[in-house]
Amino acid sequence: MINPDPPKDEVIYIDLQGRPHDTPQECIEANLGVEEAGGGQYQAGGNCGQDPSNIPDNKG
Amino acid sequence: MEILEKIKEIFRKYFDAQKRGDIKELVALYRELILSRNSLAVDQGYKDYLDMQIKKINRIPEPHWQKYLANKDAFATKFSPHLDSSSNSPHFLSKLPELKIEYPENVFDLVTKKYPEINEVRNKISIENSDKGAYFRYSDEADHYSIYIPQTNFNQKVSMLIHELAHVISWEKQHHRVESIYSAEFEAHQIEFALTKDISNEFSQAVFGEYLMGQVRSDFQIAIFTNTTLDPIVTYTENFAKYIGELKKENQTDFLFDKKITHDPLVDLSSAVSIVNLLT
């Protein structure tokens, strides 16, 4: 069986749980999701390729 | 973090091997992925990736985790023999006659009968199409719930909407504050199973059946993250047989293409543990 849905390009973003994402936004949201569910503070991190100035300072 | 760079590199090779359908290489890379994810967890102070998922991500209380470990094998034999499953296509709801109800109106009616509090938020809920499974989002600013349901067979859509509405009921009860992923899933399944029983015993059994793949994925990964010397193909095949039935040879490597295993390891864990604990 060939992967029916391979990533569109070679760039892969890895979140704090070691999960791959196609875009930095998905990657950052995945990190946010964990922090929200865990009830902790937002942690910048993972290999999301994010611009530090774009990191939200609250969870909304 | 160095380990994340390593995982990125493994995925580059993994996707390339997927395109080529190179199973031998995929198995080797999958093993590397398991070891790297375990290292990632060890770096954060956990025993392994499973330990990190239990304690940090899902926050499963120890007594619940122990109850699950003690009962999961009994659960597997309790449910699978009663379900009409075909080996590599474990779908149950689509095999039942289509429910004779209006969607979504009658689903709301069914939920309202048992949980009238849903009426208080009914006009704050919209139902949208999804291209990646069922889930809900709540917007604080708009005080609005968006429930996303994929275009799939009718019975499955009904079942998914019931589950997401169960989350809404739980979310409201907890004043928009989730204690943990596990507590949210536990409560949603509890409400969902009470509601699906009201449709019919047959429907309720089929809903349990739909969750068996989550049990297979979870049990397989529990084994593979805690004993990295296990053969992934043999372990996956054994776990599939335990919950569902014999897996045809050509399907024994399907897990190497299953994003819920490669991309979102243990994503079903809270749900799997909740279901076993609620039903045994």
| pLDDT band at residue B92 using 50, 70 and 90 as cut-offs | confident
Instruction: Evaluate if residue A41 carries a pLDDT over 70.
Output: no
User: Residue B125 belongs to a domain with what CATH number?
Assistant: 3.30.2010
Instruction: Evaluate if residue B9 carries a pLDDT over 90.
Output: yes
Angle of helix B212-226 relative to helix B62-79, nearest 10 degrees? 120
Tell me if B21 and A2 make a contact (CB, 8 A cut-off): yes
Q: Tell me, what's the pLDDT at A6? A: 52
> Of B179, B208, B237, at which residue does a domain stop?
B208
Looking at the complex, does the CB of residue B254 fall below 8 Å from at least one CB of chain A?
yes
- Same domain assignment for residues B110 and B29: no
- Same domain assignment for residues B138 and B196: yes
Question: Edge-to-edge, what's the strand order for the sheet holding B144-150?
Answer: B125-130, B144-150, B135-139
For B44, the domain range is 2-90+210-279
Q: Provide the percentage of residues in chain B whose pLDDT is more than 90.
A: 82
> Of B149, B175, B208, at which residue does a domain stop?
B208
- Same domain assignment for residues B204 and B216: no
Break chain A into its structural domains and give their ranges. 13-51
Given a contact cutoff of 8 angstroms between Cβ atoms, the answer to whether B164 and B46 are in contact is no
Q: Total domain count for chain B?
A: 2
pLDDT (tens digit per residue) in B235-264: 999 999 999 888 889 999 999 999 999 999
- Same domain assignment for residues B77 and B214: yes
pLDDT (tens digit per residue) in B214-237: 999 999 999 999 999 999 999 999
Half-sphere CA count of B37, side-chain side, radius 13 A? 30
The Cβ of residue A58 has, within 10 Å, a number of other Cβ atoms equal to 6
Given a contact cutoff of 8 angstroms between Cβ atoms, the answer to whether B256 and B262 are in contact is yes
> Of B161, B188, B208, at which residue does a domain stop?
B208
- Residue among B2, B11, B55, B131 with most chain A CBs within 10 A, to mutate: B11
Q: Tell me, what's the pLDDT at B88? A: 58
pLDDT (tens digit per residue) in B130-168: 987 888 888 889 999 999 999 999 999 999 999 999 999
- Same domain assignment for residues B188 and B216: no
Is residue A29 helix, strand or coil?
Answer: helix
Tell me if B3 and A18 make a contact (CB, 8 A cut-off): yes
- Residue among B4, B16, B175 with most chain A CBs within 10 A, to mutate: B4
- Same domain assignment for residues B85 and B214: yes
Query: Which of B30, B42, B54 has its CA nearest to residue B218?
Result: B54
